[in-house]
Structure 1
Amino acid sequence: MNTLEIYINKNKVKVSSNDTILKAAAKLDIYIPVLCNHPDIFSDPLSSKPLNFIFQGNKKIENKGSKESKGCGLCIVEIEGIDELKPACSTIVKQGMKIKTESNSIKEKRQEILGLIFASHPHACLTCAQQEGCSKTQCSSNVNENERCCDLFGSCELQKLANHIGIPANTPKWTPTNLPVLKDSPLYIRDYNLCIGCRRCVRICEDVRKINALGFVYDENNNIVVGTHFKTLEESGCRFCTACVHVCPTGALKDKKSIRLKKEKDILPCKNACPAKIDIPRYLRLIAQGKKDEALAVIRQKVPFPGVLGRICFHPCEDFCKRQELNTSISICTLKRYAAEDDKGLWKKNIKIKPDTGKKVAVIGSGPAGLTCAFYLGKKGHKVTIFEAQSKLGGMLRYGIPSYRLPRNILDNEINDILEIGGIDIKTNTNFGDDITIESLKDDGFDAIFIALGLKNSKKILFKGNNLDFIISGVNFLKQVNKGENPKLGNEVIIIGGGNVAIDVAMTCIRQNVEKVHIICLENKHEMPANDHELEIAKQEGVIIHNSWGPVEARKNNVFIVQECTKVFDENNKFNPKFNSSNKKEFHADQIILAAGQTSDIDFLDKTDIKISNSLINVNEKDCQTNMENIYAGGDIVTGPLSVISAIAGARKAASAIDLKLGGNGDIEDVLLKQNKSQQDILIEKLSKTKSEIKNFASLKKQENLELDSKTRCSNFNEIVLPLTHEQAKNEALRCLECDIRLSLKNNPSPPEKYEKFTLENINHIPETEGVYQLVNAEKNIIAIKGCSNLKQGLMQEFDDESSAVLFEYEENRMFSQRESELIQQYLQKHGEMPGAGDDDMDDLF
């Protein structure tokens, strides 16, 4: 590709021979205003063709104008030797070309164009002298509410352009158009009154996403009118990725959750809901592309138990999946299991194991938290010893979960993967408090200790006769069965509890040949904490559920009396059950099994200085360290009974903190699937699967796992839920909306800011007069807005106080207190917090 030399505003720059002036200017960070252009829309704005008709809701609009596309015209520039102004977006550079991007004639023409745009767009707020700091709820100029700017005011791209170019004084007042405002579609709102016809939404959908859900026509005045191919987004084939919302320069397209989603946690609520922050959209995309092993590598970047989690995770991610807005959430958990099936070991190729550091770490407990912490610390080169009270590793994964839910070969394989990294010693049949103590471990030279004991006991439930011989612990019962023992139960068993442990106990009783299995719980059927699917499976196997009953008395003759529970939670949603003692029932019970919650067994910690509250270990939330130096804790012993994925996430945090404390950098991440591509290549990769047509995308149904027949499975502990087929997995992954596309989309450059570098040299040039200054940190967040009677002295004081500012701006204003208040009000309106508050969480102002 040939290179040329051109001059832009007298700056010489080397560019490619096929570059446009706009692209060449971007290389020099020279700002040229645009509306129809966008850095991630690769097609020429002038190449778009109108449709024969489009829809705005139920209204059909036919094409009546020119067949030639036109751009916004704002990017015009002067070229030496050419009389007319030329569009920078479509003019190809030539050798020696001399270009000016700013002049009086350019400004006048841009204002003229902007005036035409605002003739059909609300702009009363943009021409108001009090627009900065406006609350938008009250108007001192008494502008009608439907003529005011939209909720995007303050962070609107069109507004920034208007402030930079200037709106002509002769721009006519906007007349309300009463076009459709469509709020019933999933995820986003379309307000055609605010559309300026830039067609960025059309082109991102058509040229980049290859979907063609949107289009445009010309009206009788040759104005661009945008709409959908058919009456609804669903009929038009929309994938609801909301890339169109991201590129819209006005409030014509708005997210429903907030005006414009910017933060990853809002754009990807599935990933944000995952305690381990697994890159869910990426691994779903890889599955859809048939890259199963690569998908597993992405999952394993965050967790060492993909096969385990693919079976038993509570999958909070699915509760926040945006696909629910269309029909049902993606089977994220099941697809994790699919990716982990028949592991070919691709992820192991990029795993990095550090040299021996000479540091020793004791991990007490080998459940999900203990094993996870050991895995990451072992990779970092620390010598880890796992102490486990039972004869095999796994903790509650092995001894608390029936094998029909978690086959032991799956657990064993993933434990072996952890141990394969080396540097991990195992000591089983070792009880903490008896065989080892905190002090003995310190004496043995351990530099850090991680306590992950879990919750080993069932909670004691208070009722008369609760200590009779035929009343046993659900946790102990499951442990006996999982060890291969065969506890005798009798013909009729009652389980007390309404959660997943109660369901596990009940279904295990069925497999122990109990004829009648009853679950008695306080909660009604809508309040039961048990997983709905697990509950349904239990019912299929004959488990009888008795909702809204609580225990009263157990008698030696195996009679069990319960009373009606009228309310479980009080008005503050706290557990505070109420009973109707006049309504009671009697049951016969050969065995009563308590499965209403779990508790810890940490009496031996009373001999240490470790702080405990409500039978749980207290830790610092940031690093999982207890009040004792170098003693850490994680998992259920800290959080109470949550989930395996929460235990893993907590252990990752602890491993990072321990590594940092032992002289490492605290970085436990491995990039197991590299992405050596440009941002544009990544975007194209993300969109690659959408090039082929997917019919009826919005109504695609969830792929369901097959299950063993309820009549045959009850006699064994074979896994009930069968894996998805390759075709099922691909089809399920294809249902993903690919919400992460928005994270790869850039924003159009904003007009130049007035900020200067926060240096002593620049401060010395500031006048000693009244005014307001703003300070900006390295993340380009405003950290201070202050008015003062002497700008130079105020800024000098900030400099002497070693402010974290790297940029600043100021304005002279005798009414500096009022101006400070206006600017702070404007900032609060935009960010919802004072300048400098929550720097890590604020949006980039540029």
Structure 2
Amino acid sequence: MWLTIDDKQIEAKEGMSVLNAALGAGIYIPHLCGHPDLEAIGGCRLCSVEIEGMDEAVPSCMVKVQEGMRVTIHGPKAEKTRKTAMELILATHPADCTGCPKYGKCELQSMYQYLGVGPERWKKKARTVPTDDSNPLIRHLFTRCVRCGRCVRACRDLRGVKVLDFQKTDEGVRIGTDGNISLKEAGCKFCGACIEVCPTGSIMDALGQIREDVSYGESVVPCRTACPAHTDIPRYLRYIKEGEYEKATAVIREKLPFPETLGCICNHICETACKRNELGKPLSVCKLKRTAAAVHSDEWKKNRKTAAPTGKKAAVIGAGPAGLTAAYYLAKKGHEVTVFESNEKAGGQCRYGIPSYRLPDEVLDREISDILEVGVSLRVNTAADAPEVLLKQGYDTVLIATGTHKGIRLPLEGNMLPGVMLNTDFLKDARRNQIDDPGKRVMVLGGGNVAYDCARTALRLGAEEVHIACLEGGDQMTASEEEIREGRDEGIILHSSHSFLRITGNTKVEGVELQKVEKFYFDENRKAVIELVEGSRENIPVDHVIFAVGQAPAGTEELGIELNPGFFVKVNSSFSTSMPGVYGAGDVVTGTKSVIEAIAAGRKSAVEMDRYLGGDGDISEELLEKETADPFLGRTEDFGNLKRLSPALMEPQERKKSFAAVEQTFTCGEAKCEAGRCLQCDLRLNLTNPRLWNEY
């Protein structure tokens, strides 16, 4: 139907409000309580207009369009109503805007500037209600509230949580919870919709939640930002909550070719960033990923696309997570990719550095097979030639992704005695079933996850007593809480805050001499400073010692490229080495980090190598059609206090007898419950951002 607004004829759909019809046609009508995603209530009166045939100005958000309707925005009655309404709002609003985080992007500020209105005609009525900083994630600055009701409608109607409402108090009407209880007690889901729709900054993210070093969207969804591969975590958690595991796996695989592998062993830094930490413990993102991927559906493959052959050839040295990831995406871009692996099987440290009780062979084999399906050629038991030679053999580009397979031996007295082993050799030999006697009493030196891998592997190989000693205190160890707890349950004896002085013995290992650490820290030059406790020396009798104090690359000095200290490959921001056409990625560049970081590096190096080969560098893929998430959340009893679930573990006395997987996957019921704890922070970004008057 057609109507006229300020002598301009526009077309509108039946049932639309005059306000939405005008805004849709690019005609601005002032409004504050109205929001594109919320039902109108006409409370602020700022959208008042004059309509032919009506005696008084009326809120345009409450009037439906009619055929032939004639609307005047700036008539005298409408202007008077708007200005009076704005002056009343400003009478109780702080006069100084400069200290407000919303300064320059506040809808109220924009509105009174547009109307040319100030609070001068009205006696100021100060509101001294203190800011409420008591709730996690959300702070409420009552003095900035204009009682537009947007937050109430977002909470009650849009999200269905029904926590916020107008409350009568001694200071007047304000927004709050029934009984003035905390948001957590009231059942808030901390989705942030109230923050997103607030026009003035009265409801804000708690201090520190919005970071200045990243975009607003990245701050709002910190788990996705923290993930090195930027996996869309909230999206796949929603699918898991709904039992749609195939869809969840497709979302994960849009960024990661190793979903189940990561579900077993990821260091899950996304969980550290999870906002749910403010309510107790984070989502079990890693284990939920495993549950989805363990369904083993090939449904995602139907949308996997591989480009036509480009005629370009790429060589990848090393079949670890970085190398295989890069190979996968390069092959999908149509390049001919050959991966060289000196070991008998692909997988890198996932295969030879992580015990099978954490990452079973069949999981790794299955996901490597998926990678090879796109046309990657794998040559195992094959040491690659130097990059310069490969380039002369016809390869157009080379990626070095050889990892860090060389253990580090500390310069201690006795470090070469029979019975002393390096972490990399020990774990690799164990994975190959080449260790007959791990020793009866074993000492592992180091405090990270690899140290626990060595210690727990020694137990499974038949060691009767296993110790771990490290310089760090228990709360400073780099090993995960899970590793420390599971190791303790299996009987591993931890000597934290201890320095290793020497390995004792004449013809073979007989013990390790330790001394308690008083202080351990790094000075301004990153040099370790260790202060020991006098008189605290002790000798722990053992017959085998395993160094687990770090790893380094092997053989990089023979590659003919520039290296960093420690024989790590030197690359620039585009992963290029000093030799044109040769790139580096993963642990061989960064030092030993995590599998997810190696995968992320593999992705980024594939982008740069594709560009070098003449491609556009776009390796993004959509394995699942985008669906608009339901904004309605509904109420969940005691949502803020829901406990984190963990998958079942094999009993300690049973699990240390074999290399069977220690951890089970979530049951479907457990997975749905755990995924249901997600705050779904990303739904905030689906809300429409109202345009200010100067944008029309």
TM superposition score category, shorter chain reference: over 0.9
**Residues 187 and 255 in structure 1, CA contact (< 8 A), matched pair in contact too:** yes
1:733 aligns with 2:675: yes
1:78 aligns with 2:28: no
Name the CA distance, whole Å, in 2 between partners of 1:671 and 1:365: 28
**Residues 421 and 545 in structure 2, CA contact (< 8 A), matched pair in contact too:** yes
| Alignment equivalent of 2:520, drawn from 568, 580, 583 | 568
1:648 aligns with 2:604: no
1:394 aligns with 2:338: no
Name the CA distance, whole Å, in 2 between partners of 1:687 and 1:89: 22
User: Aligned pair in 2 of structure 1 residues 117, 319: CA closer, same or farther (>3 Å)?
Assistant: same
**Residues 463 and 552 in structure 1, CA contact (< 8 A), matched pair in contact too:** yes
Q: Give how far 1:592 is off.
A: 0.9
Q: Please name the residue that 2:663 is paired with.
A: 721
Q: Please name the residue that 1:13 is paired with.
A: 10
Q: Give how far 1:579 is off.
A: 4.0
Q: Please name the residue that 1:303 is paired with.
A: 256
Q: What does 1:248-263 align with in structure 2 at a 5 Å threshold? A: 248-257=198-207, 263=216
TM-score normalised by length of structure 2: 0.95
**Residues 386 and 560 in structure 2, CA contact (< 8 A), matched pair in contact too:** no
| Alignment equivalent of 2:80, drawn from 96, 108, 114 | 108
Q: Give how far 1:107 is off.
A: 2.7
Q: Give how far 1:530 is off.
A: 0.6
Q: Please name the residue that 1:746 is paired with.
A: 688
Q: Please name the residue that 2:586 is paired with.
A: 635
Q: Give how far 1:670 is off.
A: 0.7
Q: Which amino acid aligns with 2:371?
A: I
Q: Give how far 1:627 is off.
A: 1.8
User: Aligned pair in 2 of structure 1 residues 626, 89: CA closer, same or farther (>3 Å)?
Assistant: same
Q: Give how far 1:753 is off.
A: 5.4
1:44 aligns with 2:16: no
Q: What does 1:586-597 align with in structure 2 at a 5 Å threshold? A: 586-597=539-550
Where 1:362 maps in the other structure, the secondary structure is: strand
CA deviation vs aligned residue, 1:111-154 (integer Å, no higher than 9, x gap): 1110111222222x36xxxxxxx5x4xxxxxxxxxxxxx44333
Q: Which amino acid aligns with 2:473?
A: N
Name the CA distance, whole Å, in 2 between partners of 1:318 and 1:585: 39
Q: Give how far 1:469 is off.
A: 2.2
Name the CA distance, whole Å, in 2 between partners of 1:337 and 1:716: 22
Name the CA distance, whole Å, in 1 between partners of 2:210 and 2:290: 34
Q: What does 1:156-171 align with in structure 2 at a 5 Å threshold? A: 156-168=106-118, 170-171=120-121
Q: What does 1:797-812 align with in structure 2 at a 5 Å threshold? A: none
Q: Please name the residue that 2:649 is paired with.
A: 707
Q: Which amino acid aligns with 1:84?
A: E
Aligned residues: 688
**Residues 568 and 575 in structure 1, CA contact (< 8 A), matched pair in contact too:** no
Q: What does 1:54-93 align with in structure 2 at a 5 Å threshold? A: 71-93=43-65
Q: Please name the residue that 1:602 is paired with.
A: 555
**Residues 549 and 564 in structure 1, CA contact (< 8 A), matched pair in contact too:** yes
Q: Which amino acid aligns with 2:465?
A: K
**Residues 118 and 171 in structure 1, CA contact (< 8 A), matched pair in contact too:** no
Q: Give how far 1:523 is off.
A: 1.1
Q: Which amino acid aligns with 1:626?
A: T
CA deviation vs aligned residue, 1:270-297 (integer Å, no higher than 9, x gap): 1111000000111111111121110111
**Residues 90 and 119 in structure 2, CA contact (< 8 A), matched pair in contact too:** no
**Residues 112 and 168 in structure 1, CA contact (< 8 A), matched pair in contact too:** no
Which 5+ residue runs of structure 2 have no aligned equivalent?
A: none
CA deviation vs aligned residue, 1:643-700 (integer Å, no higher than 9, x gap): 000001111001011111111111101101111x6xxxx2xx3334x24x42110111
- RMSD of aligned alpha carbons: 2.0
**Residues 343 and 382 in structure 2, CA contact (< 8 A), matched pair in contact too:** yes
Q: Please name the residue that 2:137 is paired with.
A: 187
Identity %: 39
User: Aligned pair in 2 of structure 1 residues 491, 220: CA closer, same or farther (>3 Å)?
Assistant: closer
**Residues 88 and 122 in structure 2, CA contact (< 8 A), matched pair in contact too:** no
1:663 aligns with 2:614: yes
Name the CA distance, whole Å, in 1 between partners of 2:325 and 2:371: 8
| Alignment equivalent of 1:474, drawn from 412, 415, 423 | 423
Q: Give how far 1:361 is off.
A: 0.3
Which 5+ residue runs of structure 1 have no aligned equivalent?
A: 46-69, 127-133, 137-149, 755-846
Q: What does 1:526-565 align with in structure 2 at a 5 Å threshold? A: 526-554=475-503, 555-556=505-506, 558-565=510-517
User: Aligned pair in 2 of structure 1 residues 175, 169: CA closer, same or farther (>3 Å)?
Assistant: closer
Q: Please name the residue that 2:359 is paired with.
A: 406
Where 2:184 maps in the other structure, the secondary structure is: coil
CA deviation vs aligned residue, 1:306-365 (integer Å, no higher than 9, x gap): 101011110000001101111111101110001101221121111111111111000000
Structure of higher RCO (CA pairs closer than 8 Å, 6+ residues apart): 2
1:361 aligns with 2:314: yes
Where 1:239 maps in the other structure, the secondary structure is: coil
**Residues 499 and 529 in structure 1, CA contact (< 8 A), matched pair in contact too:** yes
1:177 aligns with 2:121: no
Q: Which amino acid aligns with 2:24?
A: K
| Alignment equivalent of 1:371, drawn from 324, 328, 340 | 324
Name the CA distance, whole Å, in 2 between partners of 1:402 and 1:169: 70
Q: What does 1:614-629 align with in structure 2 at a 5 Å threshold? A: 614-621=566-573, 623-629=574-580
User: Aligned pair in 2 of structure 1 residues 389, 208: CA closer, same or farther (>3 Å)?
Assistant: same
Where 1:450 maps in the other structure, the secondary structure is: strand
Name the CA distance, whole Å, in 2 between partners of 1:260 and 1:207: 26
**Residues 470 and 498 in structure 2, CA contact (< 8 A), matched pair in contact too:** yes
Q: Which amino acid aligns with 2:688?
A: K
User: Aligned pair in 2 of structure 1 residues 687, 450: CA closer, same or farther (>3 Å)?
Assistant: same
Name the CA distance, whole Å, in 1 between partners of 2:210 and 2:546: 52
**Residues 200 and 248 in structure 1, CA contact (< 8 A), matched pair in contact too:** yes
Q: Which amino acid aligns with 1:209?
A: R
Name the CA distance, whole Å, in 2 between partners of 1:753 and 1:493: 70
Name the CA distance, whole Å, in 2 between partners of 1:33 and 1:577: 64
CA deviation vs aligned residue, 1:486-522 (integer Å, no higher than 9, x gap): 2422211111111111000000000111111111111
Q: Please name the residue that 1:59 is paired with.
A: none
Q: Please name the residue that 2:380 is paired with.
A: 428
Name the CA distance, whole Å, in 1 between partners of 2:329 and 2:642: 39
Q: Which amino acid aligns with 2:280?
A: N
Name the CA distance, whole Å, in 1 between partners of 2:681 and 2:196: 11
Q: What does 1:289-300 align with in structure 2 at a 5 Å threshold? A: 289-300=242-253
Q: Which amino acid aligns with 1:696?
A: D
Where 1:421 maps in the other structure, the secondary structure is: coil
CA deviation vs aligned residue, 1:216-265 (integer Å, no higher than 9, x gap): 257899x8532213412122211001110111112321111359787112
Name the CA distance, whole Å, in 1 between partners of 2:689 and 2:499: 58
User: Aligned pair in 2 of structure 1 residues 23, 399: CA closer, same or farther (>3 Å)?
Assistant: same
Between 1:309-318 and 1:80-89, the stretch displaced more is 80-89
Where 1:235 maps in the other structure, the secondary structure is: helix
Where 2:277 maps in the other structure, the secondary structure is: helix
